[in-house]
Amino acid sequence: MSLRFHIHTYGCQMNVRDSEAVAAMLAAAGHVRAEGEEDADLVIVNSCTVRQKAEEKAVGKVGNLIAAGKIVGLAGCAAERMGEEVFRRLPKLHFAVGPRQLWRIPAIVAEFESAPPGRRPRRVLAVGAGELPRGLDAHLAAADGSFAAVQSYVTVMVGCDNRCSYCIVPSVRGREWCRPETEIVAEVKCLAARGVKEVCLLGQSVLRYRGDGGRAFPHLLRELQEVEGLERIRFTSAHPAGCTEELIAAYRDCPKVCRHLHLPVQSGSDRILKSMGRRYDRAEYLDAVARLRAFDPEFALTTDVIVGYPGETDEDFEATRSLMEEAGFDNAFVFKYSPRPGTRAAEMADDVPAAEKERRDQVLLADQERRGLERNLRLVGSLRAVLTEGPSKRNRERWSGRDSGNRIVVFPPVDGVSVGDEVKVRVAEAHAQILVGEVVK
């Protein structure tokens, strides 16, 4: 029997890629994508647990879907964290699958289908490590035309061996494991042959990647630079320790590698960075920034910051503020600290009051809004090479795309330009989050 399925995704890019892989596996097993969640028989909620709020959202969503009479599976990091407990919180949930067991979903679904009519089949919990990671390139199997044509995520590493004090990722995604270089290159070639122009390499800390013979990440970039048809290479996330001369040399030699780095800083206070176990201090972080900007003054930098970490004083917070100004971030994601079970930080008192976390969050967002505008204003009059993504989300009459620095560039559509084309746009207007201009022939 074929089911109409829908996947609802929360959280990071890894989850987006995981959901694509699950969708492709279900399609390969004969199921069909529903238009949306309303007309689906089976809905999978791929969840995040990095903050308590994220987990609550996914659990709430599952509750609503069960009430609507769907077959529901909870996938991803929240399922992994909750384990057995998930069926106490959601007694009518059909199955729960952690991020390292997603490849089992088609078989689990088949079991549900073969249950005798009127009998509720046994619910299934699939969490834990299993053997080697599986299903990393399962999205390639999508033969139903639903495949993203211009951009694609590519997993290069799974898991994380860093033990940042606040972070639950290592416990739900397991030990760090690097995919062999040959496999990654083969996947990217296959994607490029299908018309993918841009890949984004994914890992929790990709600059720690080690390929054959212990070769470092920049070598992988050099290999991917050679892939015919591919135009852009991005990767995320990065750690300042990986911002070596070897990486900068790869940037210099590989024009396909985009001039943007997402370099989470988390805090600007040495005391807090130490407690977080981030393994760099403020000076080392700013040094990495300086080297990237010395290589290319337009190099775009984005970051993640946590406010209200245990013991964060006003002074620590001001240090974060000043670091953000010194680094000149083009964009920043600010998160209010949320204690996660089993992490080292969860043993410390969560002593910054919620209202103060909120205040710090707002202050950083306002700073970033102004800084983003200032940085974008410098680009007015410049020409950006933009990979066209199609009609803009906010204004369907305009098209949008991104420049090498991952800046969103919006322009009126012109004849002869289609999705996936690279165009040159002259910037006429700058806003904090977007650049506006016109295509130059």
Binder of residue 337, out of ligand SAH, ligand SF4, none (CB less than 5 to 8 A by kind): ligand SAH
Q: At what angle do helices 314-327 and 282-295 cross, to 10 degrees?
A: 10
Determine, following the binding rule CB under 6 A, whether residue 302 of this chain makes contact with ligand SF4: no
- Pick the closer one to ligand SAH by CB: 312 or 389: 312
Q: Which position among 48, 125, 157, 164 is part of the footprint of ligand SF4 (CB under 6 A)?
A: 164
Determine, following the binding rule CB under 6 A, whether residue 156 of this chain makes contact with ligand SF4: no
Q: Residue 359: left (phi > 0), alpha (psi -120 to 50), or beta?
A: alpha
Number of residues binding to ligand SF4, judged by CB under 6 A = 8
**Beta-sheet pairing, 383-391 with 422-430:** antiparallel
What is the C-alpha to C-alpha distance for residues 27 and 141, in angstroms, rounded to an integer? 8
- Pick the closer one to ligand SAH by CB: 23 or 345: 345
Which range in 59-67, 157-165, 346-354, 372-380 contacts ligand SF4 by CB under 6 A?
A: 157-165
Binder of residue 11, out of ligand SAH, ligand SF4, none (CB less than 5 to 8 A by kind): none
Q: Residue 244: which residues within 8 A CB-CB, separation 6 or more?
A: 216, 218
Determine, following the binding rule CB under 6 A, whether residue 301 of this chain makes contact with ligand SF4: no
Q: Which position among 59, 124, 154, 167 is part of the footprint of ligand SF4 (CB under 6 A)?
A: 167
Shortest spacing between CB 183 and ligand SAH, in angstroms? 22
Q: At what angle do helices 217-225 and 245-253 cross, to 10 degrees?
A: 0
- Pick the closer one to ligand SAH by CB: 343 or 376: 343
Shortest spacing between CB 377 and ligand SAH, in angstroms? 27
- Pick the closer one to ligand SF4 by CB: 49 or 101: 49
What does 149-186 look like in DSSP terms, one character per residue?
SSEEEEE-EES-----TT--HHHHH-S-EEPPHHHHHH
**270, 312 in Cβ contact below 8 A?**
no
Determine, following the binding rule CB under 6 A, whether residue 334 of this chain makes contact with ligand SF4: no
Determine, following the binding rule CB under 6 A, whether residue 338 of this chain makes contact with ligand SF4: no
Sign of the CA dihedral with 210 first, then 211, 214, and 218 last = negative
- Pick the closer one to ligand SAH by CB: 21 or 345: 345
Binding residues among 182-241 for ligand SF4 as defined by CB under 6 A: 204-205
Q: Which of 33, 43, 57 is nearest to 8 (CA)?
A: 43
Binder of residue 437, out of ligand SF4, ligand SAH, none (CB less than 5 to 8 A by kind): none
Going through 228-382 in order, the beta strands assigned E by DSSP cover 232-236, 260-262, 300-307, 331-336
Find residue 345's DSSP bridge partners. Answer: none
- Pick the closer one to ligand SAH by CB: 59 or 227: 59
Sign of the CA dihedral with 240 first, then 204, 140, and 39 last = negative
**314, 350 in Cβ contact below 8 A?**
no
Interacting residues with ligand SAH (CB under 6 A): 50-51, 166-167, 169, 204-205, 237, 264, 266, 304, 306, 335, 337-338, 340
Binder of residue 340, out of ligand SAH, ligand SF4, none (CB less than 5 to 8 A by kind): ligand SAH
**38, 66 in Cβ contact below 8 A?**
no
- Pick the closer one to ligand SF4 by CB: 171 or 225: 171
Find residue 390's DSSP bridge partners. Answer: 400
Determine, following the binding rule CB under 6 A, whether residue 388 of this chain makes contact with ligand SF4: no
- Pick the closer one to ligand SF4 by CB: 160 or 292: 160
What is the C-alpha to C-alpha distance for residues 375 and 191, in angstroms, rounded to an integer? 34
Shortest spacing between CB 102 and ligand SAH, in angstroms? 18
Residues that bind ligand SF4 (CB under 6 A): 160, 162, 164, 167, 169-170, 204-205
